Amino acid sequence: MKKIGIVICDRYHNCAGGKCLKSLRNREGAFELYKNEEIELVGYTTCGGCPGGNIEYAPAEMKKNGAEIIHLATGLVVGYPPCSRIKAFCEFIPEKYGIDVVVGTHPIPQNYFITHSELGTWDSDIWQERIKHVINDEKTRLAYD
């Protein structure tokens, strides 16, 4: 069984996690990585707000609960502007805690896909790599609007 933690953007600190939990349950978006495995959510928290102070501490708690992988929630890439610290989070967590990081949770909702496509937000190779697990097809994106 894979044990995972989820870190959401603090600007969505009131989020109840519905889209992340739906995609976890349905193995959609980044959770499709575990389509043939059992998974258990062992932690869910915010980054703590810019510059991400909770990233320094939350992974330790998740690791105590058995976390092997931490997902940086889709909100970090679809909010505007997208999180400018994703790269640092992706480097720090594995280095400090030995926990793998995946960018994304639920599929990108279609309304965000349209906005960021029009703005050219994700046109670079770096952004294409970051969103590869959550870009999905239009039908799936619409189900997450």
Cα 45 to Cα 7: distance, rounded to the nearest angstrom: 5
Residue 11: Cβ-neighbour burial (10 angstroms; 0-12, 13-18, 19+)? middle
pLDDT for 72 equals 98
How do residues 13-71 score in pLDDT, each as one tens digit? 999 999 999 999 999 999 999 999 999 999 999 999 999 999 999 999 999 999 999 99
Number of H helices, E strands in the chain: 7, 4
Q: Are 90 and 59 in contact (CB under 8 A)?
A: no
User: CA 116, 126, 90, 106 torsion: positive or negative?
Assistant: positive
Tally Cβ neighbours within 10 Å of residue 19: 21
Query: Domain extents for the chain?
Result: 2-143
> Where is 96: in which H helix or E strand?
helix 86-97
Cα 51 to Cα 83: distance, rounded to the nearest angstrom: 9
Q: How many CA atoms lie within 13 A of 66 on its CB side?
A: 7
| CATH for the stretch 2-143 | 3.40.50
pLDDT for 145 equals 94
pLDDT for 86 equals 97
How do residues 82-128 score in pLDDT, each as one tens digit? 999 999 999 999 999 999 999 999 999 999 999 999 999 999 999 99
pLDDT for 98 equals 97
